[in-house]
């Protein structure tokens, strides 16, 4: 829980986010660390439904990050929250209450077959989470590549514009010289 507080409340920078973006952060924090009620004695990990809700909020957060005044900080906050959700999901191990905790399997035998099946299920869910992380990283890499390409195009455009401005400047200087010569000739003629 202290890691969550570090990521959401104690960040060292104070960027300007949209109010909606800040609400996403609070919603994810609320889903991952709900206020402990007096009726529950142990803190159980969030349910898979809550993780799915967090994923939906993260999708909205990613779109909102593109419109924030401080886009770099917004993307950084999005990545932090995404990692927070992923790590919480990995820590929970996808434990949905199927593991009975005993040495015997679910069929009542002493072989531990149920435990092995449960561990295999949790490993499969964690592999799914890791695949989602890989997809997110690949998507971020694609976005970075697209931004780099766009910046290169903008640089070329600026260089062409700079060349055109230089040409216009030369033409203006030439026009000033010609105008000055004409003014001098007219002045000599009228004297």
Residue 103 belongs to some domain of the structure: no
Residue 72 belongs to some domain of the structure: yes
Give percent of the chain above pLDDT 70: 73
Over residues 142-183, the pLDDT tens digits come to: 889 989 999 999 999 999 999 999 999 999 999 999 999 999
What tokens were used for 151? 């910046």
Q: For the chain, how many structural domains are there in total?
A: 1
The stretch 66-78 carries a mean pLDDT of: 80
Residue 162 belongs to some domain of the structure: yes
Residue 100 belongs to some domain of the structure: no
Q: What is the radius of gyration, based on Cα positions, of the chain?
A: 31
Residue 106 belongs to some domain of the structure: no
Residue 139 belongs to some domain of the structure: yes
Least confident residue range of 40-49, 65-74, 76-85: 40-49
User: Which 8-state DSSP code applies to residue 94?
Assistant: T
Q: If we measure between CA atoms, which residue out of 25, 22, 26, 29 comes closest to residue 68?
A: 22
**Under 8 Å between Cβ of 58 and 78:** yes
Distance CA 9, CA 28 (A): 13
Angle at 74 between CA 77 and CA 131, to 5 degrees: 55
Residue 53 belongs to some domain of the structure: yes
In terms of pTM, does the model score above 0.85?
no
Domain hosting residue 136, numbered range: 2-35+43-95+123-190
Over residues 162-171, the pLDDT tens digits come to: 999 999 999 9
What tokens were used for 146? 């697209």
Residue 114 belongs to some domain of the structure: no
């Amino acid at each position: 829980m202290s890691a969550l507080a570090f990521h959401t409340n104690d960040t060292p920078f104070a960027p300007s986010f949209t109010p909606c973006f800040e609400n996403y952060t609070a919603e994810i924090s609320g889903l991952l660390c709900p206020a402990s009620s007096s009726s529950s004695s142990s803190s159980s990990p969030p349910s898979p439904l809550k993780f799915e809700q967090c994923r939906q909020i993260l999708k909205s957060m990613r779109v909102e990050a593109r419109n924030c005044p401080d886009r770099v900080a917004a993307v950084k906050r999005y990545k932090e929250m995404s990692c927070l959700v992923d790590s919480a999901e990995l820590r929970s191990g996808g434990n949905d209450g199927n593991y009975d905790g005993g040495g015997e399997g679910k069929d009542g035998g002493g072989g531990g077959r149920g435990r092995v099946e449960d561990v295999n299920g949790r490993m499969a869910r964690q592999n799914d989470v890791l695949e989602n992380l890989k997809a997110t990283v690949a998507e971020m890499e694609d976005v970075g590549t697209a931004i780099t390409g766009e910046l290169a195009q903008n640089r070329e455009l600026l260089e062409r514009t700079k060349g055109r401005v230089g040409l216009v400047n030369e033409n203006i200087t030439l026009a000033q010289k010609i105008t000055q010569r004409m003014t001098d000739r007219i002045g000599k003629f009228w004297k």
